[in-house]
């Protein structure tokens, strides 16, 4: 089985449980930190190009809206996370009970190209650069802090802005399932079709 592994604190909790099951899986990691932890736990991790199509991708979230929109990328790996999610037959979001929200709120993580950065920032408006190292792929990590309004419209606007490499808004059609931990139980949220 080919598995895409996301990035962040939730995935950091998932990896030991995954390793304990001693499954026959081949994984792709979306960040160097996830890859290091997985390898240290004995999980086989290889290059994405060596695996191709993924059976499943598993990742956390920053916010999960009732309409199925998800904001990800607080850890700055959303560019890779979105590629891996789109390449998987199933993309499963796992989260704790603080992540489902009534409506999405800023910030929305962005990865921006270094070239023309000032022009991109002017075009976007309310964006704050993170005091963080660049992304694993050399991009500038920032947060969009403007109004979200309609998630589909904002996602389209961000995607159409020259200089935006990727944004952290994941549409409902990309998400196969959302599992939320509430104490000792797990709730599966319904994603509208």
pLDDT at residue 93 is higher than 80: yes
Q: What are the pLDDT digits (tens) for 159-174?
A: 999 999 999 999 999 9
pLDDT at 75: 84
Backbone angles phi, psi at 12, to 5 degrees: -60, -30
Domain architecture of the chain: domains with CATH: 2-98+169-189 (3.40.50.1360), 108-167 (3.30.70.260)
Q: What are the pLDDT digits (tens) for 173-189?
A: 999 999 999 999 999 99
Helix, strand, coil content of the chain in percent (nearest 5): 30, 30, 40
- Rg of the chain taking only CA atoms, in angstroms: 16
Q: What are the pLDDT digits (tens) for 19-50?
A: 999 999 999 999 999 999 999 999 999 999 98
What global pTM score does this model have? 0.94
CB 72 within 8 Å of CB 21: no
Q: Which residues are catalytic?
A: 81
Distance CA 12, CA 93 (A): 14
């Amino acid at each position: 089985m080919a598995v895409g592994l996301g990035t962040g604190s939730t995935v950091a909790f998932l990896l030991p449980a995954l390793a304990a099951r001693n499954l026959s899986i081949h994984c792709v990691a979306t960040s160097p930190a996830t890859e290091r932890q997985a390898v240290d736990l004995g999980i086989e991790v290889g290059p994405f190009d060596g695996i191709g199509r993924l059976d499943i991708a598993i990742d956390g979230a920053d916010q999960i809206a009732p309409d199925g929109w998800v904001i990800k990328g607080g850890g700055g790996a959303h560019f890779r996370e979105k590629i891996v999610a789109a390449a998987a037959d199933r993309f499963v979001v796992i989260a704790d009970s603080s992540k489902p929200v009534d409506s999405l709120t800023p910030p929305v993580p962005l990865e921006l190209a270094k070239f023309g950065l000032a022009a991109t920032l002017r075009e976007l408006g309310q964006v704050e650069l993170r005091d963080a190292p660049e992304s694993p792929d050399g991009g500038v990590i920032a947060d969009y802090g403007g109004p979200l309004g309609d998630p589909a419209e904002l996602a389209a606007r961000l995607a159409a802005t020259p200089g935006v490499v990727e944004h952290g808004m994941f549409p409902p059609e990309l998400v196969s399932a959302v599992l939320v931990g509430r104490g000792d139980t797990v709730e599966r949220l319904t994603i509208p079709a």
